Structures are given as structure tokens and as C-alpha cells.
């Protein structure tokens, strides 16, 4: 029983590390070759986990092999354009200048229902509003609406909004993130003085505080200290 | 948060407890079975076939009484294997084949004693 327990722990740690090394792509949108790796790793980890008759190495080696191949393929697809085309494929234009391209849709075996569904998912309910729709290599659909149907931007209205920058969390769960604080050019005493205006005397009472580049502070205290 | 820590500890204690219990159960019952058949080669060598057969019947009875619990704890292939060896051993004793009986006896003892060893919490078994 404990043997299986420890084996499961080891394989879990290994698969978690491997997935982490493979990069963030593995968790979100997968390229075809990455999907294959994710599915195979799941199976390779599961079998030796429960079957003590199989040496643990028989599960570990193939998982590491897949990791190596995946890293090699992503290296090739990063370095060579041709390699990327072969490994990941190329995006396909499904709608061009408001017209459905039947031939491309047939080639990708993408039917009209799929297209309408993907468009609706992105908030376009009328196919007449679409100028371009492109099927990306990871299977996601990118949509460019017709000019008169796209959302208004401040530029269209001749507005010049103030620069916002990136708001950074400076206190998370009662702990100061000195890195973000220094990045925004503030220090600990400044933070304490700001917290006083929110009636908070102790940093550990803060659930979240975030600061943007204009110096606006957002503070929320922990519930039990109120 | 507190709940999940409690669940975690309870599960850990359960798994460790079950492991220790099952290992000692398998070890004791395997030793029992192995002891009950120990005099078999001697009786076979003396060609005292009736006594050999009755001692084998005793072992079969003992094995049948623990088989159900073993099936919960170990791989069923091992149980089938022990069943098969026991059936062969009985047949060799019945037809009074000295060499085959003694060889089959050695195999039976080896396989039964190996079972708790294969369930032991050790580096060899983990890797």
C-alpha cells in the first residue's frame, strides 16, 4: 500500500515538474505536437503508478523522452520558420473580406456550425459583421470584424486618455512585495502612512493592496480585522 | 483550510495503518501456511503418501481460509499462481511422483514466502 503511495507521489512530482519545464503553452492552448505529449504523459504516469510489477523507471524514462522530444520540437519551431510550418502547421483563413472560403473550410474539415459557434463565442452573432476569420494552429479562431462593426476606441473619438501603466500588487495576504514597491519608486514608510488613511495600522491586516504608476492605491483589509 | 489538513492527516494515517496491518497479516499468514507444509518433503522421501496427502489437505484448508483476505491485499495473479501450484502438487503426491512433488513443494514455499516480501515498504519495491 505504502509502496503504491510513494510511487504515485514520485510520478506525480515528476509529471508536475515535466509539465512545468515544458512551459506555459502546455496548460493553455496546445499545438498538435504538445497535445500528443500531454495525453501520452498522463497515461505513462498512470500505469506504473498502480502496477508495482512494472519498474518505476519504465514510466520515468518515456516521460523524460517525451520531455526531450517536446523541447527539441519547440526549439526547432522557434528557430526555423520552415520547421514551424511543418510541426505546427499554418493558420488558415476561413472568412476573407466577408466571404466564406469553402475550399479552406473543407480542407480543415471545419463546418459552418463550428464556425458560427466559434463566432458566437467571441460575441459576433451575425456573420455579415465579419471581415476576416482565421483558424489558428492551436485551433482557436481569430476574428476581425468589419470596420463599421468593431468597438469604438478612444482614438476614434479623438480622446487622449491618461497613461495607466501596470498596477502591481504591493501587499498580498499581509506580506509586502518589496520588489513591486521598489519598481514603483515607493518605500515601506510611505506604504504605512498611506495605510493609516485607510485606518489600518498593521500590514498583516491587509488582504490586498495594489498600486498603479500614477500612485493610486487600492486597499482591502482582511475581514476578521474589521 | 483546516478541514483539508484534517482530511489529509486522516488519509495519511489510514494508508500507513493499512500498509503496516496488511504487511504483518500477509507475513504471519504466509509463515503459517509455510509451516503447515514443512514436513511434506520428509514424508515424500519416506514415501509415506497417505501422511503427505493429509498434510497437503491441511495446507489447502489453511490457504482457503486466508485466500479471501489476500485477494483484497495483493495482485490476483499471485493468488491464481498459488492455486495452480497447489493443484499440481496435489496431483504429483496423488500419483506418487517423488521428484516432481519435492520440486513443486519448493516452488509453493518460495511463492508464498515471496508475497509479503513483495508488499514490504522498501526502496527495492518502490523502484
Q: For residue A182, what pLDDT band results from cuts at 50, 70 and 90? A: confident
Cα distance from B63 to chain A (closest Cα, Å)? 22
Give the pLDDT confidence score for residue B99 in this predicted structure.
86
Domain end, chosen from A56, A86, A116, is at: A86
Query: With 80 as the cut, is the pLDDT of residue B1 above it?
Result: no
Cα distance from A53 to chain B (closest Cα, Å)? 9
- Mean pLDDT over A177-187 rounds to 85
> Could you tell me if A79 and A104 lie in one domain?
no
Strands A217-221 and A141-145, by their bridges, are unpaired
> Could you tell me if A122 and A57 lie in one domain?
no
Domain total of chain A = 3
> Could you tell me if A52 and A117 lie in one domain?
no
Alpha-carbon span B58 to B56, nearest angstrom:
5
Q: Is residue A173 part of a domain?
A: yes
Alpha-carbon span B81 to A128, nearest angstrom:
70
Q: For residue A211, what pLDDT band results from cuts at 50, 70 and 90? A: confident
Find the CB nearest B127 among A1, A5, A56. Answer: A56
Q: Is residue A155 part of a domain?
A: no
> Could you tell me if A106 and A128 lie in one domain?
yes
Cα distance from A41 to chain B (closest Cα, Å)? 19
Q: Which residues, in sequence order, are bridge partners of residue A217?
A: A211
| Contact across the interface for B19 and A1, Cβ inside 8 Å | yes
Strands A168-172 and A206-211, by their bridges, are antiparallel
B16 touches chain A (CB under 8 A): yes
Partners of A53 on chain B (C-beta within 8 Å) are: 75
> Could you tell me if A19 and A76 lie in one domain?
yes
Give the pLDDT confidence score for residue A13 in this predicted structure.
92
Domain end, chosen from A86, A115, A134, is at: A86
Query: With 80 as the cut, is the pLDDT of residue A226 above it?
Result: no
Give the pLDDT confidence score for residue A25 in this predicted structure.
63
Q: Is residue A50 part of a domain?
A: yes
> Could you tell me if A176 and A129 lie in one domain?
no
Alpha-carbon span A144 to A119, nearest angstrom:
10
Instruction: Provide the domain limits for residue A112.
Output: 92-149
> Could you tell me if A7 and A77 lie in one domain?
yes
Which residues neighbour A164 within 8 Å (Cβ) at sequence distance 6 or greater? A212, A213, A214
Are residues A143 and A122 in contact, defined by beta-carbon separation less than 8 angstroms?
yes
A139 vs B17, more confident: B17
Give the pLDDT confidence score for residue A27 in this predicted structure.
60
B13 touches chain A (CB under 8 A): no
Domain end, chosen from A38, A66, A86, is at: A86
Give the ipTM.
0.72
Residue to test with chain A: of B14, B26, B122, B125, most A Cβ within 10 A: B125
DSSP B38: T
Chain A interface residues facing chain B, Cβ-Cβ under 8 Å? 1-3, 5-7, 10, 52-53, 55-57
> Of all helices (H) and strands (E), which one includes residue A81?
helix A81-88
| Contact across the interface for B19 and A7, Cβ inside 8 Å | no
Per-residue pLDDT tens for B27-42? Answer: 999 998 888 888 888 8
Task: For residue A123, give Cα distances in angstroms to A15, A93, A98, A144.
Answer: 37, 19, 17, 12
Strands, E assignment, A58-174: 92-96, 99-100, 130-135, 141-145, 168-172
Q: Is residue A19 part of a domain?
A: yes
pTM of the model: 0.69
Give the pLDDT confidence score for residue A201 in this predicted structure.
83
CA dihedral angle for residue A38, residue A43, residue A48, residue A51, rounded to 10 degrees: 160
* CATH architecture designation of domain B20-126: Up-down Bundle (1.20)
Find the CB nearest A6 among B18, B119, B126. Answer: B126
Give the start-to-end residue ranges of the domains of chain B.
20-126
Give the pLDDT confidence score for residue A93 in this predicted structure.
92
Alpha-carbon span B25 to B119, nearest angstrom:
11
Give the closest residue to A115 by CA, choosing from A142, A137, A152, A155. A142
Per-residue pLDDT tens for A7-65? Answer: 899 999 998 888 888 876 656 677 777 888 888 888 888 888 878 788 888 888 888 88
The domain spanning residue A139 has which CATH number?
Answer: 3.30.240.20
> Could you tell me if A199 and A139 lie in one domain?
no
Per-residue pLDDT tens for A77-118? Answer: 888 888 888 888 889 999 988 888 889 989 888 888 888 888
Q: Is residue A124 part of a domain?
A: yes
| Cβ within 8 Å of A, B 48-107 | 75
| Contact across the interface for A3 and B22, Cβ inside 8 Å | no
Per-residue pLDDT tens for A191-203? Answer: 888 888 888 888 8
Q: Is residue A82 part of a domain?
A: yes
Which residues neighbour A102 within 8 Å (Cβ) at sequence distance 6 or greater? none
> Could you tell me if A109 and A143 lie in one domain?
yes
B22 touches chain A (CB under 8 A): yes
Amino acid at each position: 500500500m505504502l509502496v503504491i503511495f510513494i510511487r504515485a507521489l514520485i510520478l506525480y512530482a515528476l509529471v508536475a515538474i515535466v509539465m512545468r519545464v515544458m512551459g506555459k503553452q502546455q496548460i493553455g492552448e496546445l499545438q498538435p505536437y504538445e497535445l500528443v505529449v500531454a495525453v501520452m504523459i498522463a497515461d505513462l504516469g498512470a500505469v506504473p503508478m498502480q502496477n508495482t510489477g512494472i519498474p518505476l523507471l519504465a514510466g520515468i524514462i518515456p516521460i523524460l523522452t517525451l520531455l526531450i522530444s517536446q523541447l527539441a520540437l519547440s526549439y526547432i519551431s522557434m528557430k526555423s520558420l520552415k520547421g514551424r510550418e511543418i510541426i505546427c502547421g499554418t493558420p488558415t483563413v476561413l472568412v476573407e473580406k466577408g466571404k466564406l472560403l469553402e475550399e479552406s473550410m473543407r480542407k480543415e474539415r471545419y463546418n459552418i456550425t463550428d464556425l458560427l459557434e466559434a463566432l458566437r463565442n467571441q460575441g459576433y452573432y451575425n456573420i455579415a459583421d465579419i471581415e476576416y476569420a482565421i483558424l489558428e494552429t492551436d485551433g482557436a479562431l481569430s476574428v476581425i470584424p468589419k470596420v463599421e462593426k468593431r468597438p469604438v476606441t478612444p482614438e476614434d473619438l479623438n480622446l487622449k486618455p491618461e497613461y495607466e501603466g501596470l498596477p502591481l500588487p504591493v501587499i498580498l495576504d499581509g506580506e509586502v512585495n518589496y520588489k513591486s514597491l521598489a519598481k514603483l519608486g515607493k518605500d515601506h514608510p510611505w506604504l504605512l502612512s498611506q495605510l493609516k488613511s485607510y485606518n489600518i495600522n498593521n500590514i498583516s491586516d491587509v488582504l490586498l493592496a495594489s498600486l498603479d504608476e500614477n500612485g493610486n492605491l487600492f486597499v482591502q483589509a482582511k475581514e476578521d480585522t474589521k | 483550510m483546516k478541514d483539508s489538513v484534517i482530511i489529509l492527516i486522516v488519509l495519511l494515517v489510514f494508508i500507513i495503518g493499512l500498509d503496516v496491518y496488511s504487511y504483518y497479516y500477509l507475513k504471519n499468514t504466509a509463515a503459517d501456511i509455510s509451516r503447515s507444509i514443512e514436513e511434506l518433503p520428509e514424508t515424500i522421501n519416506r514415501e509415506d503418501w497417505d501422511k503427505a496427502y493429509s498434510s497437503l489437505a491441511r495446507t489447502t484448508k489453511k490457504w482457503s481460509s486466508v485466500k479471501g483476505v489476500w485477494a483484497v491485499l495483493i495482485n490476483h495473479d499471485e493468488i491464481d499462481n498459488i492455486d495452480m501450484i497447489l493443484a499440481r502438487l496435489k496431483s504429483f503426491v496423488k500419483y506418487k511422483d517423488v521428484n516432481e512433488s519435492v520440486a513443486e513443494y519448493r516452488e509453493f514455499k518460495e511463492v508464498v514466502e515471496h508475497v509479503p516480501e513483495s508488499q514490504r515498504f522498501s526502496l527495492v519495491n518502490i523502484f
